[in-house]
Structure 1
Amino acid sequence: MHNGTGAGGRALRLIEPLTRPGSLRSRRSRVRQVSQAAIAHAAVVTAAAVCCAALAVFLLLPLVALLSTAPPHAVIAALRDGETLTALGLSLRASALALTLTIVIGTPAAYFIATRRFPGRRAVLTAVELPIVLPPAVAGLALLSAFGPEGLAGGALSAVGIRLPFTFGAVVVASMFVASPLYIRNAIASFEQVDRRLIDAARNLGASELRAFLRVAAPIAMPGLTASAAIATARALGEFGATLMFAGSLRGSTQTAALAIYERFASDTTAAFALSIALLALAAGLLAAAKLHSASAGLASISRR
């Protein structure tokens, strides 16, 4: 009997706090807080989903509309046109040369900036980034002011027999001017992600600075460098304003695909749309190749572990 009374007393003592008015109010308050948090979370998720959907529609709708403007046979017919092929080939050659020069010059520069802290580093970064936000027409005038016959460096170039404005060289320079900052800035970010201890370990084992760069830093940063190169190439392929101002739009010599689209839009919209679709396909292919390379590099890194 005593044991039963003791057990009942303990049960009452356990239940009693839950039946007090203050405890009930506390439980109701916690339930309300949980409910409000759940509602707020659902509202945030819904708003984010709506924003993502709206952004996707905004970005993809123009591309889908462009693809619907010209049937495949019209695209093929336009790409068989001699002048169109010349303009497209000129764009590819200029972009390839601009990318090659950018990689050769920009990769060591990006590595140096990423791994060093020196006075004026922020000014150097600003100088690298400035062409990214510069209006294309302003970039073209700046190049003309620098390398034109009356430009700051124009006289020195003329003295050694180099004339840049309104030549194929001007197309390459304009493409490099607008595209190289994208590569260099992203390359700096890629090198900054490399664990500095790995580079220091290679140096401690006797590797030179160049060897540590080639064997350690560059392979680790390669996925980012590849993506940067793809973005820079796509930017160079689509360059318009700086090329028009500095190189002109001379058929067969300086007229790139982007300039050909602009010219044909006034007379042959089907050809203009077809060439636009071809450039879109090139840009999409570059982006897909960069992503596949990054994914394969990531899988290879995981397998090595």
Structure 2
Amino acid sequence: MNFSFSPEELVAIGLSLKVALCAVVASTPVGVLVALLLARCEFWGKSLVNGLVHLPLILPPVVTGYILLLLFGRRGPLGEFLESAFGIVFAFRWTGAALAAAVMGFPFLVRAVRLSIEAVDQRLESAAGTLGARPAWVFLTVTLPLSVPGLLAGMTLMFGKALGEFGATITFVSNIPGETQTLPTAIYTYTQVPGGEEHALRLVLVSVAISLGALMLSEVFARHLARRVVAA
């Protein structure tokens, strides 16, 4: 098997990494806040919020992509507003692929962080509060550091989901080489053309290697941080 990548394959690999990283970076602050809200707060409509957060897990990805197209397309209410006000375009752009990946991977991030926050001993938070620390400072200095392993796990799961997202991406931003063609859509394209099996196999191996490397790196960080917490 020839492991010399074509320019089109390299573009697809680079675009996939950019889309997945942007999705994770942009979603992490929001995901942490939503996880904290679900883990520590009781309010009317909490079940509805939890359901909406996890809805992409049970909806067909094509349905999610179509909803994104209706909302963020050039004629959609949010898409038209963002384009006219800020010049931001999602439909049929790599930014749309990042948005689709973020939406599909968001539940994995929130669930992992929420479980990690719920595992934190609230007596530690209460002790910090009795010493005069404000709630935001308690979260930043007590809750968040103890939740880092879960945060890393959630970010890794989201990165893997974003890297492999297909249905929502191809529905929302199509499969445009050099613009929206990520690893999954490139693999799909190569399986549909004669002689494309070798190209598809190379990209499959790249996808497996990147995902496995991310999981192993996350495990190393989680173990290191767990040892530091125990030592402290």
**TM-score in terms of structure 1 length:** 0.72
Matched ranges for 1:243-258 at <5 A: 243-258=169-184
Deviations 1:205-255 (A, max 9, x none): 111222111110011011111011100000000001111011111111111
Matched ranges for 1:42-61 at <5 A: none
The equivalent position to 1:153 in structure 2, one of 78, 82, 89, is 78
Determine if the alignment matches structure 1 residue 292 to structure 2 residue 224.
no
Matched ranges for 1:1-305 at <5 A: 71=1, 74=2, 76-77=3-4, 80-160=5-85, 161-267=87-193, 268-304=196-232
Q: Is the 8 A contact 1:136 1:241 kept in 2?
A: yes
Q: Is the 8 A contact 2:66 2:171 kept in 1?
A: yes
Q: Is the 8 A contact 2:146 2:229 kept in 1?
A: no
Q: Secondary structure at the match of 2:162?
A: helix
CA shift, 1:299, in A, is 2.4
CA shift, 1:303, in A, is 3.0
CA shift, 1:185, in A, is 1.7
Q: Could you tell me the percent identity over the aligned residues?
A: 33
Give every structure 1 segment of 4 or more consecutive aligned residues whose post-TM-superposition deviation is greater than 3 Å: none
Q: Secondary structure at the match of 1:150?
A: coil
**TM-score in terms of structure 2 length:** 0.94
Q: Secondary structure at the match of 2:77?
A: coil
- Looking at structure 2, the residues matched to 202 and 96 of structure 1 have their Cα atoms a distance apart, in angstroms, of 34
For these two proteins, the number of residue pairs brought into alignment is 229
Structure 2 gap segments, 5+ residues each: none
Q: Which moved more, 1:157-166 or 1:231-240?
A: 157-166
CA shift, 1:138, in A, is 0.8
- Code of the residue aligned with 2:34 in structure 1: it is A
Q: Which has the higher contact order (CA 8 A, sep 6+)?
A: 2
- Code of the residue aligned with 1:137 in structure 2: it is V
Structure 1 gap segments, 5+ residues each: 1-70
- Code of the residue aligned with 2:124 in structure 1: it is L
- Looking at structure 1, the residues matched to 227 and 205 of structure 2 have their Cα atoms a distance apart, in angstroms, of 33
- Residues 162, 300 of structure 1: CA spacing in aligned structure 2 closer, same or farther, 3 A cutoff? closer
Q: Is the 8 A contact 1:83 1:251 kept in 2?
A: yes
Q: Secondary structure at the match of 2:89?
A: coil
CA shift, 1:155, in A, is 3.2
- Looking at structure 1, the residues matched to 77 and 57 of structure 2 have their Cα atoms a distance apart, in angstroms, of 22
Q: Is the 8 A contact 1:128 1:185 kept in 2?
A: no
- Code of the residue aligned with 1:214 in structure 2: it is L
CA shift, 1:150, in A, is 3.0
